[in-house]
Amino acid sequence: MQLQVTNSPFNQEQVDLLNRLVPSLSESQQIWLTGYLFARQASAGPLTISADVQAVSEGAAVAEVISAISQPAVSREVTVLFGSQTGNCQRVATSLSRKLEEQGLQVTLAPMNKFKTNNLKKVENLFLVVSTHGEGEPPDNAKSFHEFLYSKRAPQLENVSFSVLSLGDTSYEFFCQTGKDFDQRLEELGAKRLVPRVDCDLDYDEAVAGWSAEVISSLNDRLNAASGTTAAIAQTSSETTPELSAYSRNNPFKAEVLANINLNGRGSDRETRHLELSLEGSNLQYEPGDSLGIYPENHPELVDAIIKQMNWNAEEVVPINKSGEQGSLREALLKYYEITALTKPLITQAAELTSNSALRELLAQGQEQALRSYINGRDLLDLLQDFEPWQGSAKQFVAILRKLPARLYSIASSFKANEDEVHLTVRAVRYESHGRERYGVCSVHCAERVQPGDSLPIYIQQNPNFKLPADTNTPIIMIGPGTGVAPFRAFLEEREEIGAEGKSWLFYGDRHFVTDFLYQTDWQRMLKDGVLTKLDVAFSRDTEEKVYVQHRLLQKSRELFEWLQVGAYVYICGDEKHMAHDVHTALLTVIEQEGGLSAEQAAAYLNDMQDQQRYQRDVY
């Protein structure tokens, strides 16, 4: 609207000034000016304002005022995107966003697959929080954004300031690879790094807090430099996630074990435990699709072998955490430190504690493959045996070990159906490697050394990326061989409890029908009661030709596609490396053949399902 003397309270000179000034203001400048005028009117005294606005009040030339106000301002708008498979990155990104909002910044928070990529070149402050999945791959909800950045459609981003926080596990070869990819690609596209990338190991709280503080400090510096003010944005605290219960990953609840049952029949070469834990008094709650974290204990035989190998005193007092608490060496190795996995950072530090030059040679440039080969399947005892003599003390060795991480298991129960209880399905892992028996830390702890009445330190890990559809009439297709069936027991218990009417179809597979059909009586009862509509099974060792769940999908392709066409949700849980890949390929084949689509169209169909959250995976 063009101002005139007749439609405003201003005289002609003021109208002329305003008509020249207002059109030059950006939206954020107009909002700022509105607040400034309101505050000035309400203020009892003069406000301290920046030089360009002060010039207006002192009657500076309009041309100079327009020039000053039209200069590009540092944006207070921030975009935080996350790529998360299990929910950790989403929690970190949400926490960062909340802290930025508390400081008056305008924050857009979104999973990467929900962000409109054509808006990327309009972003000025971009922060990415992402995990790495599988063999250095992006998590499911980051794949499309990753593909876009590496495509020819990716724009130049000279006006973007960014930083990347990457979560990973140093025991994997492609540690934080997705974060490294994003960091490198954004730089190639011309974006400017506001804060250096931070790569976090499993114990990430301190690193996350440091990165968050640096992000806010850098934004603070830029805004102060642009405005000439000295008002500081408050620094972040060390907390990275809000907690609804007093118990959390950093303060686990000691849950009493109510039951510990072997689900496999006599003669099976597998041992799968059904655990029931009490949550009474914890105020912990969960939803189907969430996971339970357990802090396990290392195998006592391995701990004692390490102490004997090094001729250490088991009762020597050593630090047990970064807070300075202390305990006996045996207790530290049993409950607090990782001793079953080797990582490059650990070996690098250990090389300083031995006079054996072979370890330094293993770390030399060009020996990456040899190092990977050595790390695979070995533990701390192997390292101590292979590269003696050692010169470090027990305290020095403890100082280079990382914290014993919790193990996550998909919850196999509905809280609504089992109030104050949580159920798990845990397969004991035992195998031989490099001439010695090895044990899954948590699985064998639960199988061999945990009895009803004992307690386990636990916490709930929400997983917003693996959830039942909000509409209870929606059909669901669940694919979970072996212990991958655990969350689907929770899904069906929940649907039974709330009276959901949507159809359900379970594909289950294992080795032998007689000994390995986990929760068989549950599925039979649910079929009889109508909670479970269809059940297809595949027992790979019961037939001459091995049959897996992906083969059952292909055999039922027509009906399966009909379910997809009416809006069914598809869930996959279990092994990522083989099963999930094979099932994904089978689904593409079903969609292509039954839908009369090309391979590209079938892939787009499944990608669209993923964007609609109709295709969800909890794979490991």
Per-10-residue mean pLDDT, the chain, length 620: 58 69 70 57 42 42 43 72 91 94 92 93 95 88 94 94 94 91 96 96 91 92 66 43 70 97 96 98 97 98 98 96 91 97 95 94 91 95 96 94 96 97 98 95 98 98 95 98 98 97 97 97 97 98 95 98 98 93 97 97 96 93
Buried b / exposed e across 512-525, counting CB within 10 Å, b at 16+?
beebbbbbbebbee
Q: Which domain holds residue 136?
A: 77-227
**Sign for the pseudo-dihedral over CA of 591, 593, 594, 599:** positive
What is the distance between the alpha carbons of residues 145 and 548, in angstroms, rounded to a whole number? 32
Question: Distance (Å, rounded) from C-alpha 435 to C-alpha 107?
Answer: 55
pLDDT of res. 61: 42
500 and 614 both lie in a single domain? yes
User: Of 368, 400, 432, which one is at a domain's C-terminal end?
Assistant: 400
What pLDDT digit, counting tens, does each position of 120-157 carry?
A: 989 999 999 999 987 889 999 999 999 999 999 999 99
Distance of CA 483 to the CA centre of its chain: 21
pLDDT computed for residue 173 by the predictor: 84
Q: Which of 454, 437, 429 is nearest to 272 (CA)?
A: 429
Q: Are residues 427 and 553 in the same domain?
A: no
- The Cα–Cα gap between 160 and 149 comes to 14
Q: Which of 53, 69, 85 is the last residue of a domain?
A: 69
Phi, psi at 43, each rounded to 5°: -75, 145
Same domain flag for 531 and 484: yes
Asked if residue 243 is part of any domain, the answer here is no
Provide the CATH number for the domain around residue 555. Answer: 3.40.50.80
Please tell me the predicted confidence (pLDDT) of residue 17.
74
Please give the span between the terminal C-alpha atoms of the chain, in angstroms, as a whole number: 59
| Cβ proximity of 131 and 88 under 8 Å | yes
The reply to whether 349 and 455 lie within a common domain is no
- Say if residues 362 and 374 touch (Cβ distance below 8 Å): yes
Q: What share of the chain is helix, strand, coil (3-state, %, to 5)?
A: 40, 20, 40
Same domain, 100 and 129: yes
Q: Which pLDDT value is given to residue 242?
A: 43
User: Per the domain annotation, does 466 fall within a domain?
Assistant: no
* Both structure tokens of 57: 């009040």
Instruction: Measure the CA–CA gap between 592 and 561, rounded to whole angstroms.
Output: 10
The domain that contains 144 carries what CATH number?
A: 3.40.50.360
Buried b (16+ CB within 10 A) or exposed e, 449-484: ebeeeeebbbbbbbbbbbbbbeeeebbbbbbbbbbb
Both tokens of residue 209? 């807090």
Mark whether 118 and 220 lie in a shared domain: yes
As for how many domains the chain has, the answer is 5
Amino acid (one-letter) located at 200: C
What is the DSSP-derived secondary structure letter of residue 74?
A: P
Claim to verify: residue 267 and residue 410 sit in the same structural domain = yes
Please report whether residue 245 resides in a domain: no
User: pLDDT by residue (tens digit) across 256-292?
Assistant: 999 999 999 999 999 999 999 999 999 999 999 999 9
Tell me the three state secondary structure of residue 193: strand
The domain that holds 325 is classified in CATH as: 1.20.990.10
Helix pair 12-21, 62-69: axis angle to 10 deg: 30
105 with 134: CB under 8 angstroms?
no
pLDDT score recorded for residue 460: 97
| pLDDT confidence of residue 228 | 54
Is residue 208 domain-shared with residue 89, that is, in the same domain? yes
Same-domain status, 60 and 109:
no
Using CA atoms, how far apart are residues 134 and 617, in angstroms rounded to an integer? 13
Whether residue 83 contacts residue 178, with contact meaning beta carbons closer than 8 Å, is answered with yes
DSSP secondary-structure letter at 403?
B
Q: Using CB atoms within 10 Å of the CB of residue 553, give its burial: 0 to 12 exposed, 13 to 18 middle, 19+ buried.
A: buried
Same domain, 337 and 483: no
In a domain, 232, yes or no: no
Final residue belonging to a domain, choices 30, 51, 69: 69
Q: What is the 3-state secondary structure (H, E, C) of 81-149?
A: EEECCCCHHHHHHHHHHHHHHHCCCEEEEEEHHHCCHHHHHHCCEEEEEEECECCCECCHHHHHHHHHH
pLDDT of residue 18: 75
Q: Are residues 486 and 385 in the same domain?
A: no
Instruction: Report phi then psi at 184, rounded to 5.
Output: -65, -45
Question: Residue 508 and residue 481: Cα distance in Å, rounded?
Answer: 5
Identify the CATH number of the domain in which residue 420 sits: 2.40.30.10
Question: Can you give the pLDDT at residue 277?
Answer: 98
Chain centroid, CA 176 distance in Å = 12
233 lies in a domain? no
SS3 456: strand
Angular region, 530: left φ>0, alpha ψ -120 to 50, beta rest = left
What are the E-state strand segments in 133-202? 161-167, 192-193, 198-200
Tell me whether residue 526 is in a domain.
yes
The residue count of the chain comes to 620
Q: Is 246 exposed, middle or buried (0-12, 13-18, 19+ CB in 10 A)?
A: exposed
Please report whether residue 248 resides in a domain: no
List, edge to edge, every strand of the sheet that includes 615-619.
534-539, 504-510, 476-479, 569-574, 615-619
Strands (E) in 449-590, as ranges, are: 455-461, 476-479, 504-510, 534-539, 569-574
Which residues, other chains included, contact 606 with Cβ-Cβ below 8 Å and sequence gap of 6+? Answer: 584, 587, 588, 591, 615
Tell me the residue ranges of DSSP E strands in 263-390. Answer: 272-278, 291-294, 317-319, 326-328
Residue 55's pLDDT is: 40
List CB contacts of 436: < 8 A, sequence separation 6 or more.
382
Together in a domain, 213 and 147: yes
Quote the CA–CA distance of 291 and 465 in Å, as a whole number: 12
Query: Residue 457 in 3-state DSSP?
Result: strand
Q: Do the domain assignments include residue 194?
A: yes
